[in-house]
Every structure is written in C-alpha cells, then in structure tokens.
Amino acid sequence: MSVVELDQEFKSKLKSVFGHDNFRGAQEVIIKNILSGKNTFVIMPTGAGKSMCYQLPAIMSEGVAIVISPLIALMKNQVDQLNGHGINAQFMNSTLSKSEINKVKKDVLSGETKLLYVAPESLVKEDNLIFLKNAKISFVAIDEAHCISEWGHDFRPEYRKIKTIIEGIGNLPIIALTATATPRVQLDIQKNLQMEDADIFKTSFNRKNLYYEVKAKKNPQKELIRFVKNHKGKSGIVYCLSRKSVEEISELLRVNDVKSLPYHAGLEPQVRMANQDAFLNDDVDVVVATIAFGMGIDKPNVRFVIHYDAPKSMEGYYQETGRAGRDGLNADCLMLYSIDDIIKLEKFNKDKSVTERDNAKQLLLEMSHYADSSICRKRQILHYFGEILDKDCGFCDNCMKPKDKFQAQEEILTVLTAIKSTEERFAVDHIIDVIVGKETEYVESYNHADLDVFGEGDDQKPEFWQSIIRQIMMMEFIEKEIDRNGTIKILQKGLDFLKKPTNVELFKYHDALDTSEEDLNEKEPQGSTAFDETLLNLLKSLRKKISKEKELPPYVIFQDSSLEEMATTYPITADDLSKVNGVGMGKVSKFGKPFLEAIKKYVIDNDLVTSTDVVVKSMVNKSKIKIFIIKQIDRKVMLEEIAESQTLTMSELIDEIEHICFSGTKLTLDYYINQIIDEEKQEEIYEYFMTSENDSIGSAVVNLGDDFVSEEELRLMRVKFMSEVAN
C-alpha cells in the first residue's frame, strides 16, 4: 500500500469508525510512526487524545494490539466505547470468571479481537503468557507508563517487569503513553523499557481552559457546599484521601441536595461500576472519589474538579485536574490546602523503603511549594514538566488576584552567590541552609560556614528563599539538574546577572495558610460567613436569660458556634434550626422555641431575605457510622469494641460520639464510664461542668489538674453531662 493510499485509509477510518473529520495535535504523525513498526513514546496531557494514538493503528493492523492498563475502570470504559464504535475490543482481568476469560482468549486467537486490555498483574500468569505467545499481536501499548518509574507519582513494581514479559512473548513494537512525565520520569521510563531510541512525541501540557485555584482549608465543608452549589447541575469530581472521607463527603453533598455518589476500591465491584456509569450518563452530578477514579474516563463535560485533601504529587494533581474541561470549555480546579494533609500523607509513607520514602517526600514538598506560591499556577505546573511559559496565564487565582511584588536584586544576588560559592554541586535545601546560616552536618563537612554568603539571609524564613529560588528558576536564571540529584546550576541569564545586577520584580512570599480577612470574606457569598452581630448579641442575651431560668451554664443551651451560624443563616422554622451545626432536632425541641421566635421577629423587623444556600446540613441522622455507634451504645457495647469494629482510634470514636451528642442526641455512657472513673471523681467533674462558663477540655484540665483526670475521661464526662442536662 502506497503512502497516499495509507493516508486515505486511516483518515477514512477516523471518520467512519470514530466520527472525527480531523486529527488532533500530533495524533496523525504518532499513528504513522506506530504503523511503520517503530517504538514510540507519547507524552500528552490528559484530554489530548492519547487513546486514539493506539486505537486507530490497532484496527488497521493485522492481529490484536495488547493494551497494558493499570485500572479496571479504565478498561471497562474504553472497551464499552470501542464496542459502541463497532470495534471488537475486550479486557482480561480479575473481574471475569474462568469461562468468560476462555471466551476472550478464543476470540483473540480466532483473530476477531482488535484490542485486548490486560492488567499488568494478569501478564505474569503462566497460562496467559502461553496464550499470548500463540496469538498474532500487532504491537503492545503501555498506558499510564509513568507507573514504571520509581520517581513517578504512581509507581507500581509490576510495571518494571513489563519489558521482560514482552520479550518473552516476541519481538514486538512498543508504544508507551503518559500524561505526567517529568524529565526525570521520562528518562526512567525509556531506560526500563529499553526504548532509548524510541521516537518521542511530546505536546504542550498547557490546558488553557482550566482555572486553577488554591484556598486554605479553613472551613472545608462550607466551602465545598458553596462551590458545588455555585456549579449547580454541572458535572464535577471531588477527590479525597481516604475511603472514609469519600463516604462522608458524598453523604454531606447528598444531605445538602446535591446528586452525588461515592467511588473507591472498598465498594463492591458492581456498585463501583454502577456509580461510575451513573456519573458518565449524567444521572448524578458529582462523584466523590479516591484517586482510583478517573484514569481513562472519557467524560468531556466535567466542569469542576475539587481536591478536598491535598494531592500526593504534582503529577497526580495535574492528571486529576485534567479530567475537567476535556470538551475545551472552561472548567474550575479548586484545591483546599492544609499542611495537616501533607503531614498525614507523610505518615502514610513511613512503612516504605528509604528510597521510596525520600521520593514521596520530595513529591509532597513540590506540592506544598505549589500551594504556597504566589506565582502563576500554570507557569509552575508547566515548569515542573519541563516546559517554559513565557508569560503569566492570566487565568488562575494568582493571576486574577495577584500578590504584592518587590525589587529583588539583592536577594537574587544572594542566591546566585551561594550557588556559585558552593561550586554548583548542591541541591536547593543545602543552598538555603547556607543562606540562612544553618549549621547542618553537610555545611560543617564542606566548611560552608566559612563562606561570606553564609547567614546573609538569616533575617528571612527558609520558605522565603525557597520562593526566590523557584521564581528565578522559572525565569531561567538557574536550573535543577535531574541527572545529578537535583543540584542547582547557574544558566547564562544568571551569569549575566552576576556580572551586571539589575532590578528584577519578584512576588513576595505568600503562605497559603495565612488567609487574609478579605480572602475569607471572598470565599462565601455575602452574608454566609460574616454573622449579623446585632442578632448574635440578641441571641446571646436570650441564651443568658434562659440559662439563668433553668440554672444551667449558657453553653449547655447552645454553643457560641451554633449561635453564630443562626446569626448567619436566620433559621425561622424548626427544620431550619435543626440543620444548624451543633443543634439537631433534640435541642430544637428542648430549647428552640424562644430562639426561633426571636430570629423570626428580627427578620420581619429588619425586612431581611433569608437564604439557606450554603447552610451545611447535619449528617448525624443519616450517617451510617453514627447510627451504628448510637445502636451499639444502646446495647451497652464497650467503646474499645465499637472503635475496633469501625477501624477507629479511641480518640476518633469519641469525636464521633461528641458530634452525635452536641447535635442533640442523648447518649447513655454510664455502663462504660462507671467502669473507668470512680463515683467521687465523676461527681467532681460533673460539678465542674455545671459551674463552668465554658466546656473547654483545656480549661477543665487546668482547673482540675492533669494528675487528677485525663483528657479522655473529661471528654466522656462532658458527653454524659451534656446528654443528661442539654439533650
């Protein structure tokens, strides 16, 4: 077949099979490369059409193309789509029965199947290897190839064996594809697959239609509800770190009238698939998921992606946000950032090998720097993947709400001098240690404390210098050498600056956790977070009056946080009041009437329009875990046993018990408390809470003495007290 005829044929197939008139980006040249039998390495962002690069060559080639894919969800989604186009595609993984696997093998051996998706774990099975040796294979496609690299964000040891397995099957062309290869990961993939001579096709990572934003995780539930309700009826994904968080946040959204379903590996396979299909078919608006969701999912109209917890890496963050806006229309990517999430992720890595732990720490450090930075988000992301953006994107939070700048001539000179004085042999952390005058083991062993630049920047935090280094790296004054463990080298622009320093404007260091009042007010629609001080004072006076009448401490009636929410959302019905955090229907029945009357009168007198758009409704009555705890306590099951059955620590269980109690549900813990606290001590603690102005555990420890009572005992006694007096 001539080149012209080949061109005509695959363009004809593009239209007749897939319905597209034209190829996107580099697809055409990549497909030609594969059809010519050459090893091919494709680095292309999520949503740019990587799948087409191997699907079209597969249907045009003799035999079956083997697609090695890490996720069952991806396989099912792509096979369903290909079958819908009339292409015989199948998958082989652990979800199939023995008879189903035998049928798949029969279809492949008969030549009917054009694409066979296989999990890497399935490749190592002896009977599968024998089967593949007998099949006519056109080429092997390795999807999500970054899983090969130990420097990547999703390293999978079984991926390191792929090359050996392929060699055992035959001498086959390979196409490796990924959306998230940093220069270091790219080199590692090529080396492991012995594809150093492969033709590399790398397209821009710039997703111009995505708006990136990072917000401090101050009031995440309310921020989440506000954000999702501002995108009412639109498709979105919310990523959480744990299965437990996924369930809780999905339930939170459902309770707040958002069509939502959870997705994580702990769900039954059929439930997981049903939830995925419901999202793909627009039967639900939001899927709340662990990172197991989304790889290879082709849903073009995802309008937002929220990271409720900080991602593990920039690669993961880029890939997950890349699931938004695949139709080319604008989409929002919000990260709620807290240093606590980073600390939690570091703890997850404690059982890994030293090398894996160090790699994971570096990935988390990059994530933390990104969240804290004042620099254009897209410039940071693209620089991470080895791509330079000449100017700010103008379409991210840092561009739309720019932070202050300053003339940084002296600071840049300090950094470049430190790098030059240490002979360009060290990574960023060591350079910063020298600048701030930190006498580490390395500083001492290399006598760097004797350098003139040592301690020159000790008037600033290390994070400040980290920000300077990252900014001038993006301006190409310096670069990080990936093949020399991240050592910093001065580039020509930096050398010119050393010879003739000039004024350069840089952003001031900005801590994402130091959110200004202005930022906080901006997070919510007006009136949703700033409480009405006049109403709040009125409610506090009413609470004080009732507490005196009933001879109870004021906090027993309603806590300050509950009053503040009442002064924010103006509940005027019992149902509205029960949805205020820390209230619940039990407290509404006991104390609610005068408060509802006062709020209603205030609303009428001031001609206010009330809104419950961003009221975060309580999940207590609907949460499975809370219902389980209530039932177990009713049955007098020991708390240690309840905690173990729900894989909770004792402190986490008491957290749940407190949420239940403070929302107005009465819990009888006498059966447990009587076994661990003697009667005299109980009476003294009970009397303290009855006379105290607040229910702070810290204050109780100070007043009663930590040698007399433990924090756990105080928390349990506070629950007993509130249940008997307030609920």
Give the residue-averaged pLDDT of 200-213. 90
Region 471-492 average pLDDT: 83
What dihedral do alpha carbons 363, 367, 368, 372 form, nearest 10°?
A: 150
Single-letter amino acid code for the residue at 600: K
Residues 66-99 pLDDT 10s: 999 877 767 777 888 888 888 999 998 877 888 9
With 70 as the cut, is the pLDDT of residue 718 above it?
Answer: yes
pLDDT at 4: 61
Superfamily of domain 525-605 in CATH is HRDC domain (1.10.150.80)
Which percentage of the chain shows pLDDT scores above 70? 91
- Give the pLDDT of residue 307: 97
Query: What is the average per-residue pLDDT within 274-302?
Result: 81
Helix H or strand E segment including 67: strand 64-68
User: Which pLDDT score is estimated for 617?
Assistant: 53
| Run of H or E including 241 | none
Amino acid identity at 692: S
Helical H runs in 373-408? 377-384, 397-400
Residues 6+ apart with CB under 8 A from 484: none
- pLDDT number for residue 417: 95
Beta strand extents in 338-409 (DSSP E only): 405-407
Comparing 698 with 338, which gets the higher pLDDT? Answer: 338
Over the stretch 122-138, which tens digit does the pLDDT of each residue have?
Answer: 887 888 888 999 999 99
User: Which of the 8 DSSP states describes residue 159?
Assistant: G
Structural domain boundaries in the chain: 3-202, 210-372+382-387, 405-506, 525-605, 624-725
Residue 13 is predicted with a pLDDT of 80
Confidence bin at 613 (pLDDT 50/70/90): very low
Q: What architecture is domain 405-506?
A: Orthogonal Bundle (1.10)
Task: Assess whether pLDDT exceeds 90 at residue 561.
Answer: no
Q: For 562-576, what is the HEC assignment?
A: HHHHHHHHCCCCHHH
The stretch 467-472 carries a mean pLDDT of 87
How confident is the model over 23-78, as pLDDT tens digits? 888 888 999 999 889 999 998 876 677 889 999 999 999 999 999 987 776 777 78
Residue 622 has pLDDT above 50, yes or no: no
3-202 under CATH 3.40.50.920, yes or no: no
Domain 624-725 top-level CATH class: mainly alpha
For residue 152, is pLDDT > 60? no
Q: What is the mean pLDDT of the chain?
A: 84
For 685-695, write each residue's pLDDT tens digit.
988 888 887 77
Confidence band (pLDDT; 50, 70, 90) for 523?
very low
Same fold, 405-506 and 624-725: yes
Q: What is the tens place of the pLDDT at every residue in 406-458? A: 899 999 999 999 999 999 999 888 999 999 999 999 899 999 999 999 999 99
- Is 210-372+382-387 assigned to CATH 3.40.140.10? no
SS3 192: helix
Who contacts 721 (Cβ-Cβ below 8 Å, separation ≥6)?
A: 685, 686, 689, 690
Tell me the percentage of the chain whose pLDDT exceeds 90. Answer: 31
Confidence (pLDDT) at 514: 52
